[in-house]
Amino acid sequence: MSSFFSGAISLSIFGQSHGAAIGMTLDGIPAGENIDLDALQKFLNKRAPGNFPWATSRKEDDRPEFLSGIVNGITCGAPITAVIHNRNTRSADYNEFADVPRPGHADFAAHVKYRGFQDISGGGHFSGRLTAALCIAGGICLQILARRGVDIGSHITLIEHITAEGFDPVNIDSSTFRELENLDFPALNQATAMIDIIDQARKAQDSVGGTIECAITGLPPGLGSPMFGGMENQIAQIIFAIPAIKGLEFGAGFDAAKMRGSTHNDAFCISGGTIKTRTNNHGGILGGITTGMPLVFRAAIKPTPSIGLPQESISLNEKTSKTLSIEGRHDPCIVPRAVPCITAAASIAALNAYIEFAENFSWLAMPTN
């Protein structure tokens, strides 16, 4: 079981890719919150396998069964536990990898840590399959935040060398999030070119990676704390729970290293009686604390390591070189299905910080439905 503890909310995720089920327990959610299960299912469908030509052909409904915490669609204060039953597994596809570790996968590291007893099927508990459970938790948090005027959206900004338009970091209209939610391939532009690149990689038995941008609007200033409790830290801890994440940047990110202070610093101004900044290179966070500007970050996702092209590996038992060609059902690009995972992770971190802030400041009490 993997667990996230950060103040108000705790989250545990359990199960294995080809086990009977995967699931999650989310604790710290206030009682009396309406949860639209149909909207939650729509959110989960964006991540589910087998729905799009650029995804694995493994077909799973990803329909959660709630065991506790929600009664008649309303949170009751008890920990929320839900499971998703695995129904379409082909474990025999993975037998070889117990001896010949796949390059780019956790096979070798898991073999060392668990002395060869790890579940190799589907990647076991290292599998991206477990992000379905993350999306249950994040989908719940997303709805609770929306009722408090906090909106979150994510989209694809890069597939291999094809770059799409990003959010305006100063003025983000939440209607843009709604438009992206209705797209099978969530990109502001260049979707056709990106899909073509993914298809080319698939036909070549190869894979591609990319980047996802996420924005959070409506967060009040003052959330988070300096150093270890900073908003960047809280978001990063959950983002890096998503397999294949290799990098994370906030605001101007790595481009800040190319700027001078006179360019990177965001000038303060008064707009509509509210303190804002004219630019948003800081990505909505200063000193680990939100400023009230849109919180903007981007995550880099590596190419899918399971590819059909021959790769060099070794036999763990024979201690000899081996050539490995991976067959089975795999995504030529993980990025599109990772978009709701990024949104889910951001939602959990944002609600955790929001609840902590509301508890400390009575004038921002958590509203009822």
Highest averaged pLDDT of the listed ranges 6-10, 137-141, 356-360: 137-141
Interatomic CA distance for residues 265 and 246, integer angstroms: 27
Interatomic CA distance for residues 162 and 166, integer angstroms: 13
Residues sharing a CB contact under 8 Å with residue 158, sequence separation 6 or more, in sequence order: 164, 210, 211
- pLDDT of the residue at 72: 96
Pairing of strands 245-250, 295-301: antiparallel
317 has a pLDDT exceeding 80: yes
Select the more confidently predicted residue: 228 or 250.
250
Residue (of 304, 301, 302, 307) closest to 339 by Cα position:
301
Q: Residues, the chain, total?
A: 369
In this structure, of 24-28, 100-104, 197-201, 276-280, the range with the lowest mean pLDDT score is 100-104
Q: Is domain 2-364 classified as CATH 3.60.20.10?
A: no
Interatomic CA distance for residues 180 and 186, integer angstroms: 5
341 has a pLDDT exceeding 60: yes
**pLDDT (tens digit per residue) in 165-198:** 999 999 998 899 999 999 999 999 999 999 999 9
- pLDDT of the residue at 74: 97
**pLDDT (tens digit per residue) in 11-28:** 999 998 888 899 999 999
- pLDDT of the residue at 52: 72
Domain residue limits, the chain: 2-364
